[in-house]
Amino acid sequence: EADIYQTPRYLVIGTGKKITLECSQTMGHDKMYWYQQDPGMELHLIHYSYGVNSTEKGDLSSESTVSRIRTEHFPLTLESARPSHTSQYLCASSGDRGSYEQYFGPGTRLTVT
């Protein structure tokens, strides 16, 4: 199994709360990604990073922010959670070996009430 970790695995919070979803990898990968998986199982890119101090927005505007201060750490923050943010959030990373395959974490299942 790939060495990529996400915490918490499950989270139920109320509307308006600020939350941070953690993602860490021990593979030394430069590229990291956040995907949102909606209840219908569709996956959408929300943020990605090429390396330290690099962040880019994806296709889906999720009203979240990310930071990449260390290579291994790529946290996702929701400043004010809403019920529409209820989803599974998947973190992934990839290296530069030429295959560009991504390794995924176990996901955080978020419910906003």
Partner 1 sequence: AQTVTQSQPEMSVQEAETVTLSCTYDTSESDYYLFWYKQPPSRQMILVIRQEAYKQQNATENRFSVNFQKAAKSFSLKISDSQLGDAAMYFCASTTPTSGYALNFGKGTSLLVTP
Query: What does the binding site for partner 1 look like in residue numbers (CB under 8 A)?
Result: 1, 31, 33, 35, 40-43, 45, 48, 50, 56, 58, 90, 92, 94, 99-107
Paired with 57 in beta bridges are 47
Retrieve residue 104's tokens.
Answer: 């995924």
Cα 105-107-113 angle, rounded to 5 deg: 165
Q: CB–CB of 27/40 below 8 Å?
A: no
In the bound state with partner 1, the residue whose beta carbon lies nearer, of 14 and 40, is: 40
In the bound state with partner 1, the residue whose beta carbon lies nearer, of 42 and 63, is: 42
In the bound state with partner 1, the residue whose beta carbon lies nearer, of 70 and 99, is: 99
In the bound state with partner 1, the residue whose beta carbon lies nearer, of 42 and 79, is: 42
CB of 27 to partner 1, least distance (A): 14
- What is the C-alpha separation between 93 and 105, in angstroms, rounded? 9
Q: What is the DSSP letter of 61?
A: -
CB of 80 to partner 1, least distance (A): 26
